[in-house]
Structure 1
Amino acid sequence: MFVRTVYVTGDPTKIDTAIRALNTEGRDLLEERPGYRGAGVFVDRELGKLFSASWWTSKEARHNSDEVMRERRGALLEPFAGTVAVENYEAAVFHAQQMPRTSGGLRITRLEFEPEDTELVADTFQASVLPRLETLHGLARASLLVDRDRGRGMVHILFVDHESMAASRSAQAMARHEGTAKAHVTVIGLEEFEVVHADVHPD
């Protein structure tokens, strides 16, 4: 699958307006597009951050949908958005253990690596990191997204509740240390969000 992410920062007091728009009109627009496989919306209400990801069967479906979403994105995010960053990724690994829940947690680890090491990064995550993650209490879903051209990626770990996410921090830190050492990866960011909704159907 292929993924488009949208990372938005703005006034925390206005974030609920953007959430409502994305969960109604925004979701309707996505569901109308061919090749759509689901989406998620995640927020940090305290700092004023909103992260969304939509999942697609092909690069073409993702590209075609973005032509529509680009025209509507500004209006959907008003008056919250101060900055908006859109990025595209390939889902190198997708592992679903149970359904995510509203008010659950998402931890994002942002990665940099040499583009020629993309397969090493994916293989290491699949063989070494994922088995550790599968033992975490409350794990809902784990995925590795990669941009092969830029040598960048993100690990998304979803938990069914915030307590499980908080309790996993030490164990995931150990898995992250092992995985980055094996795959020659640099961690450039670590963030946590509340799950507003997360619904992906890979098949």
Structure 2
Amino acid sequence: MYVRTVYVTGDPARIEAAVRALNSEGRSLLEERPEYRGACVFVDRELGKLLAVSWWGSEEARRNSDQVMRERRGPMLEPFAGTVAVENYEVAVFHSVQLPRVGGGLRITRVEFDPVDADLFAETFRSSAIPRLETLPGFARCAVFVDRERGRGMAGSLFVDRASMAASRAGQAAARRQDAAKAQVTVVGLEEFEVLHADVHPG
């Protein structure tokens, strides 16, 4: 699968309008496109951050949807959006144990690596991180996104509630250090969000 991520920052007081637009007009536009596989919306209301992820069955389907979404994105995100960053990734890992829940938590680790190490990053996550995540109370789902050309990626872990995510922080910090060294990646960002919507159908 392939994904497009839209990362938006703005006035926290105006974030709800953007959320409503994405969950209504945005979802309707996406569902009309071929090979659409689902969408996720995550927020940080305190800081004023929104992350929307759309999932696609092929790179071509994702690319073909770009024009329609590019034209409508600005109006949908007004008046909240102060900055908007759009990125495209290949889904290298997708692993689900249980369905995420509204109000749950998402932790994202952003990494950079030598492009030749993209598969090493994915395989290290698959062999080391997933078995460890499966032992954590409240763990729901995880995924790894890679941009092979730019040598950039994201690893995300979803939890059914914010308390479970918070309880995992110390243990995951130690594991992150070990896995980053093993995968030969540099961690360049760590963020947490509230889950508003997480509906993905890989098949």
Same topology, TM > 0.5 = yes
Inter-partner Cα distance in structure 2 for 1:39 and 1:170: 29
Per the alignment, residue 72 of structure 1 pairs with 72
SS in 2 for 1:20: helix
Matched, 1:103 2:103: yes
Percent of matched pairs sharing the same residue: 71
Alignment of structure 1 residues 10-159 onto 2, 5 Å: 10-159=10-159
Per the alignment, residue 184 of structure 2 pairs with 184
Shift of residue 167, structure 1, vs aligned partner:
0.5
Deviation string 1:146-193 (CA, Å, 9 cap, x unpaired) is 000000000111110000110011121122112101011100000000
Inter-partner Cα distance in structure 1 for 2:202 and 2:117: 25
SS in 2 for 1:94: strand
Unaligned runs of 5+ in 1: none
Inter-partner Cα distance in structure 2 for 1:165 and 1:156: 12
* Count of residue pairs brought into register by the alignment: 203
Deviation string 1:3-61 (CA, Å, 9 cap, x unpaired) is 10000000000000000000000001001100100010000000100001010000000
* TM-score calculated relative to the size of structure 1: 0.99
Inter-partner Cα distance in structure 1 for 2:129 and 2:181: 11
Give RMSD over aligned pairs.
0.6
Range 129-138 or range 39-48, more displaced:
129-138
Unaligned runs of 5+ in 2: none
Q: Which runs of 4+ in 1 moved over 6 A?
A: none
Deviation string 1:81-138 (CA, Å, 9 cap, x unpaired) is 0000000001100001100000100101000000011111111111111111111110
The letter of the residue matching 1:104 is G
Shift of residue 199, structure 1, vs aligned partner:
0.4
Shift of residue 2, structure 1, vs aligned partner:
0.2
Per the alignment, residue 171 of structure 2 pairs with 171
Per the alignment, residue 2 of structure 2 pairs with 2
Range 126-135 or range 187-196, more displaced:
126-135
